[in-house]
Structure 1
Amino acid sequence: MADEARAADPSASGARASLPFASPPEAVFAVVADGWRYADWVVGAKRVRAVDDTWPEPGSHFHHEVGVGPFTVRDSTELAAIDPPHRIVLIVKVRPSGMGRVTVSVAPRDGGSEVLIEEVLVSGPALVLDSWLFRRITMLRNLESLKRLRRIVDGDTAPR
């Protein structure tokens, strides 16, 4: 099945995207739960500046720069909940546009994993833009993030 076909319908609340991985949930989650690795796979993340010593405990943060080209914003992401190797919930802040809740779920599937990213805006001016088009763009961005994550975790063994 084509990767794009796995992208969930963005007409529902929030944006959802999922992909199969050849690796087991523990291998996927090792990268997802590493605060220093987010700039390696999350589209728009330019660099991670610092990770709290308490990471990955709920309430801990990693501090990052996001942006495109020369335009960057320094902000932080809070870990809201974690259930290794199945789920991590993050509160992402990108000021001045607002805050969102991102849930990354990892489930066993055919000897590998199915990884789902769900992103919902929770506050800020970006809520005004929370339209079908905005959710579609977010879903496509998250699908690309999943492809990057899969290249890191699976290497050349990724299911096609």
Structure 2
Amino acid sequence: MIEVCRTIRTPPERIFAVLADGWSYASWVVGAAHIRAVDDGWPAVGTRVHHRLGPWPLQLEDQTVVREMEPNRLLELEAHAGPFGVARVRLILEPISDTTTRVRMGWRAAAGFARLVPEAVMSVVLRARNAETLHRVDDIATHRRLRAA
């Protein structure tokens, strides 16, 4: 599993509120370009965000499915990326204090082409990408007004 970690100066509830807003998915996931639809009940287990990936005009339409969820603590996603495969992404929120949370993001190839690439090679690209993803979550959770559920 390729893992990155970021300490964010806000409580886990604010961070989880970002993750629980399926319409914000393209704002924090590097590579997601457009949200086409969000299943009612997101982020309940089995619900999906329907999205486009990549730069226009080469975008792929695909989806991300919630596989495990514990409010304010854990969100595990199965992210589909067309021919590139499927990844399992695990976001764990660990309170450090009342105002600070450590977020750990783990990524592993689950199916498709990505499983054929050695983890050491994937790690070179994905560590930077996933660190940027957590940086975006940080920005949204600490600086933007969150939408009501």
Matches within 5 A, 1:9-158: 14-110=1-97, 111-155=99-143
Q: 2 CA distance for matches of 1:148 and 1:30?
A: 14
Aligned letter for 1:68?
Answer: P
Q: Deviations over 1:21-80 (max 9, x none)?
A: 111000100001211111011110101110011322111111000113532110001111
Number of corresponding residues: 143
- SS of match in other structure, 2:40: coil
Aligned letter for 1:70?
Answer: P
Gaps of at least 5 residues in structure 2 are 145-149
Q: Give the TM-score, by structure 1 length.
A: 0.84
Q: Deviations over 1:84-119 (max 9, x none)?
A: 100001011111111110011111013310111101
Q: Give the TM-score, by structure 2 length.
A: 0.90
Q: Over aligned residues, Cα RMSD in angstroms? A: 1.4
Q: 2 CA distance for matches of 1:109 and 1:149?
A: 17
Identity %: 33
Aligned letter for 1:106?
Answer: L
- SS of match in other structure, 1:96: helix
